[in-house]
Structure 1
Amino acid sequence: MDRIAEFRKWKVQCLSKADLSRKGSVDEDVVELVQFLNMRDEFFTTSSCAGRILLLDGGINGFEVQKQNCCWLLVTHKPCVKDDVIVALKKANGDATLKFEPFVLHVQCRQLQDAQILAVRSTHGLEVPLSHKGKLMVTEEYIDFLLNVANQKMEENKKRIERFYNCLQHVLERETMTNLHPKIKEKNNSSYTHKKQRNQEKAHGQCITKENDKELENDDDDDLGINITIFPEDY
């Protein structure tokens, strides 16, 4: 069996399995994006989360929270209010931590070139301990402040999902047109080769600082499709 046929078979098997997530279904804000990817021959999704605010009660032997070994006191994919957090905190016996987790999407890709199109990074998160051994360590005013921050991140996260989806559609449409017109593909490959040569000449004979190195990487990323420029790291 060739690799393409093997990938297609694997995709059918994975998408036919039951959803084993806690919610048991795809989050509303990413349903359209997930369906779009699964309709493409070169992708299929294995898990996703549109972004959420969590209150976790972990162990009392350290502040590192392991979600598989802790109690979920509260979880929401919508903006959160202080009263809900205060009520949930009363159930904490260990170290309760408030977290905001941004949009996550795990995708299996048919080949490396397809994976490069989906290469995106983001540091848009939040994790703050609130109690220790069941004792609240912060004021309600501070909890209210944290929730304002978390809710703002949730709103920004939704915008990023929309931006990612729109850019992904644009890149894949451009990729399809390139594959249908070999002359365009040849021209793009030639342009990419010239750009690589310019970058090598630029780097040669210089002391490459971190800033220069980052600039070279960003130049290359333009030809890989969607990359870190969609979700800037300075959020």
Structure 2
Amino acid sequence: MLLYTENFEEQKRKAMQSLREALERGEVDGDIVGLLERINSLDNYFTTSSCSGRISVMEMPYFGDKVNSVWLGKWHREVTTDEVFEAIEKHRRGQLWFLVRSPILHVAARSMEDAVRLLNLSIGLGFKYSNIKSVSHRKLLVEIRSTERMDVPLGEKGKLWVDGAYIERIVGIANSQVRRFKGKLRKLEEAMAGLTPQKP
């Protein structure tokens, strides 16, 4: 038996209201809005959360402590070395990390068939860490996620462990990863035009 999400239309209505409010507050990454609109224009899908990927400099008590961590710099685009150095100069305590995170989108699907179609499409476009995150009559949620990632320790308690030349090199690597996953997002937006399942 094919699994369908209950109350899908009502869930989508509420999600779209939340998205409109987030857009008004400027909380949605600008370069992913077109993709969100494309997905949400389809009858059998809607987005629940998204991030277009980012580079960041973060200060944390210890690696993995997200609750008490502080962003010293965060960019959803390629970054200059000067911008990274400016963020590093704010470091005073805890550990200092340079991070790259790939895009992540959560998309609700009307049916299991819809979820599998979106999952296969995403994986085929290079979002290799994509998966079906939740399966029930209440929610069918696809997580679209790519593979790009960096976790680079830079220092601790206000002291750098690396020199400027090293930071320049890792910024270059990070920017190449950003170009790669932004390209995947553009391809996904184009491919969504052909994903037009009909209502049951």
**TM-score band w.r.t. shorter chain:** 0.7 to 0.9
Give the root-mean-square deviation of aligned CA atoms: 2.1
The 8 Å contact of residues 53 and 100 in structure 1, kept in 2 or not, is answered as: yes
Percent identity between the aligned chains?
32
Aligned to 1:104: 104
| Distance change in 2, residues 1:144/1:42 (3 Å) | same
The 8 Å contact of residues 56 and 67 in structure 1, kept in 2 or not, is answered as: no
Q: Which has the higher helix share?
A: 1
Aligned to 2:22: 19
Q: Deviations over 1:23-56 (max 9, x none)?
A: 7332222111100111112111111111111111
How far apart in 2 are the matches of 1:94 and 1:24?
A: 30
Unaligned segments of structure 1, at least 5 residues? 180-235
Unaligned segments of structure 2, at least 5 residues? 124-128, 130-145
Aligned to 2:78: 79
How far apart in 1 are the matches of 2:151 and 2:88?
A: 15
What is the CA distance between 1:169 and its match in structure 2? Answer: 2.3
Partner SS for 2:7: helix
What is the CA distance between 1:159 and its match in structure 2? Answer: 0.9
The 8 Å contact of residues 50 and 104 in structure 1, kept in 2 or not, is answered as: yes
What is the CA distance between 1:168 and its match in structure 2? Answer: 2.8
Partner SS for 1:16: helix
Q: Tell me the number of residue pairs that the alignment of Structure 1 and Structure 2 aligns.
A: 168
Which is greater in Rg?
1
Q: Which has the higher strand share?
A: 2
1:100-139 aligned within 5 A: 100-119=100-119, 120=123, 121=129, 122-139=146-163
Partner SS for 1:98: strand
What is the CA distance between 1:12 and its match in structure 2? Answer: 0.8
What is the CA distance between 1:167 and its match in structure 2? Answer: 2.5
Partner SS for 1:9: helix
Q: Deviations over 1:165-194 (max 9, x none)?
A: 223323x14x56xx9xxxxxxxxxxxxxxx
TM-score (norm 1): 0.65
TM-score (norm 2): 0.76
| Structure 1 runs (4+) greater than 4 angstroms displaced | none
The 8 Å contact of residues 52 and 78 in structure 1, kept in 2 or not, is answered as: yes
**Which structure would you say has the larger RCO, counting Cα contacts within 8 Å and 6 or more residues apart?**
2
What is the CA distance between 1:4 and its match in structure 2? Answer: 6.2
What is the CA distance between 1:5 and its match in structure 2? Answer: 6.6
The 8 Å contact of residues 39 and 192 in structure 2, kept in 1 or not, is answered as: no
